[in-house]
Amino acid sequence: MGLRNLLDPLPPPYSPAEWLKKPLAERGRMVCEAWAMQGYGTPPAAYAAYVVKIALYVGGFLLACSFSPSLGGPTTLAAWWLSPLAFQKAIVWSLCFEVMGLGCGSGPLTARYFPPFGGALYFLRPGTTKLPFFPGIPLLGGRTRSVLDVLLYAALLGACVRVLVSAAPSTETFLPIAILLGVLGLTDKTIFLAARSEHYWVTIICFLFPQWLAGAKIVQLALWFWAGASKLNHHFPTVSCVMTSNAPLTRMAWLRRFMYRDYPRDLRPSRFAAWLAHGGTAMEFAVPIAFLLTPTGQPPVVAIVLMLALHSFITSNVPMGVPLEWNVMVVYGAFALFWAHPDVSVLTLSPWPLTVFVLLMTIGLPILGNLFPSRISFLLAMRYYAGNWAYSVWLFKGTSHEKLSKLTKTSPWIHDQLARFYDKTTALGLLSKVMGFRLMHLHGRALPLLVPKAVDDLAAYEWLDGEVVAGLVLGWNFGEGHLHQEQLLGSVQAQCGFDEGELRCIFVESQPLFSDAMDYRIVDAKTGLIERGDLSVKELRTRQPWQA
């Protein structure tokens, strides 16, 4: 395989220029058939880059531990890698790595080509767009990042570095991280979510108390349990199909065909895909249950084996969004918390303020997030990779997207990013697959019904998934549709001034637990709400991804 083959994406089985001229139903059929057999068409070199990034992530952890004489160096790794101090540094390093934009949501599998990450490139730059928790409040509630916002973010990075280079971090070194990230959550929801706060921030708050091991164990158990609970719906089988069709190790044509009922005529999940999805759900429940059922003081051998099987499967499939470092941290946490400390019971968590906080974050918020998904981020609700996400599609008329140049940002228009590496045809072929990714999920089957309601002539508009918009405008995207809904649209409109009809957005919400409906809104950037309604998930299940 030559260098060119390693760098070039797999071309779609259609002419991208001709594809653009087709009506939506035909476009959808063509791109969905292509996704089923090719996935995103990611170049092999991109996967190698993610492997290198994991190596750098692990190297950063080892470097941080080298500042603690009690831990030793790489040559004595087996003696100290599961110590409480090493785990604390791993959590802080992981938070730092993620909030800089180097972890989840980076690289080409998140439509981020040049630069390959956002994060710190945005969060350290005044004038970039942000999403305050309370818009309009003094000092912190502006649409764009102030010098104060930048200083608070820089202080967070400094607080993390302080812990990482400390020989023996203490409560006084963890406290600034806990406070600063909480404040940053008020000034910009993007930063709080990018830090994977539902995991790392909650665990760091546990570090402030003597019985932190029990609290950290509860957080870890919640990650697995709610990931399983969020998949108790009809969305996850389509995720199995989309992931298998895109994974680097499942490129066998027969297997990819087997994931669908009758390729290419019927691209709904096959019975095999459904059972594969149910098996994954059962595994995510089995892991925390196995840990809880292991008698106190006994090594959790069965639980560890199940956990390794689960995360090996997830990581080897390289899911879109690429939460690879996070999966590495979860695996490490299982060993550092449960294998190294089988004598610590989760029932020993104290004092009561920490108990209340941990239970609120690991039980209360996830329950509310499943019942009222429009109110709570899927990350805080721990509804991981379930396929039941809020999402959006932004439709720019003609060249109106050029008005985005009025924004302060470090990532150029997506076509301009790709132009650094590929010709126009190759770039268009890649971007067409983004439409396929969205349509292939159960929730995406709503789009053939909604796009005609939003615009009269799709050929006159540029289709951009909200994930790509968030990457361009906010500097971070990881499947969180709430980041690119009305609040972001209002901020973009205030700064760019789109005329009526130049920018139309389709916002689709998650399916709440115990409900069959998915809420949607169609909004014009200038004039506001055009239509609101709901869609039956049961009815969507009967449709092909491209069927109007």
Cα 187 from Cα 427, distance rounded (Å): 36
Return the pLDDT at 466: 98
C-beta separation of 543 from 266 below 8 A: no
Cα 60 from Cα 57, distance rounded (Å): 5
Task: Read off the pLDDT of each residue in 6-23 and give the average, rounded to a whole number.
Answer: 91
Residue ranges covered by each domain of the chain: 44-230+279-371, 391-540
pLDDT at 296 over 70: yes
Question: For all residues of the chain together, what is the average pLDDT?
Answer: 96
Return the pLDDT at 320: 87
Return the pLDDT at 5: 60
Task: Read off the pLDDT of each residue in 454-459 and give the average, rounded to a whole number.
Answer: 96
* pLDDT more than 70, % of the chain: 99
Residue among 374, 366, 389, 384 nearest 466 (CA): 389
Print burial letters for 218-244: b (CB count within 10 Å at least 16), e (below 16): bbbbbbbbbbbbbbebbbbbbbbbbbb
pLDDT per residue as tens digits for the range 357-416: 999 999 999 999 999 999 999 999 999 989 999 999 999 999 999 999 999 999 999 999
Return the pLDDT at 75: 87
Tell me whether the omega of the peptide bond preceding residue 264 falls within 30 degrees of 0, making it cis.
Answer: yes
pLDDT at 2 over 70: no
Residue among 367, 301, 85 nearest 213 (CA): 85
Tell me whether the omega of the peptide bond preceding residue 115 falls within 30 degrees of 0, making it cis.
Answer: yes
Return the pLDDT at 115: 95
Amino acid at 126: P
Which residue do the tokens 């941990």 mark?
358
For 29, 205, 484, the CA distances from 144, given in Å and listed in that order, are 40, 29, 15
C-beta separation of 36 from 12 below 8 A: no
pLDDT at 70 over 70: yes
pLDDT per residue as tens digits for the range 467-492: 999 999 999 999 999 999 999 999 99
Sorted by sequence, the CB contacts under 8 Å of residue 452 that are 6+ apart come out as: 24, 458, 548
Cα 222 from Cα 91, distance rounded (Å): 16
Task: Read off the pLDDT of each residue in 239-263 and give the average, rounded to a whole number.
Answer: 96
pLDDT at 35 over 50: yes
* pLDDT more than 90, % of the chain: 95
pLDDT per residue as tens digits for the range 121-161: 999 999 999 999 999 999 999 999 999 999 999 999 999 99
Write the DSSP symbol of residue 233: S
Return the pLDDT at 6: 66
Task: Please tell me whether the overall predicted TM-score, pTM, comes out greater than 0.75 for this model.
Answer: yes
φ, ψ dihedrals at 508, nearest 5°: -120, 130
Task: Find the helix packing angle between 301-316 and 324-333, rounded to 10°.
Answer: 170
Residue among 533, 532, 521, 235 nearest 370 (CA): 235
Q: Rg of the chain over CA atoms, in angstroms?
A: 23
Q: What is the 3-class SS of 380-410, one letter each residue?
A: CCCCCCCCCCCEEEEEEECCHHHHHHHCECC
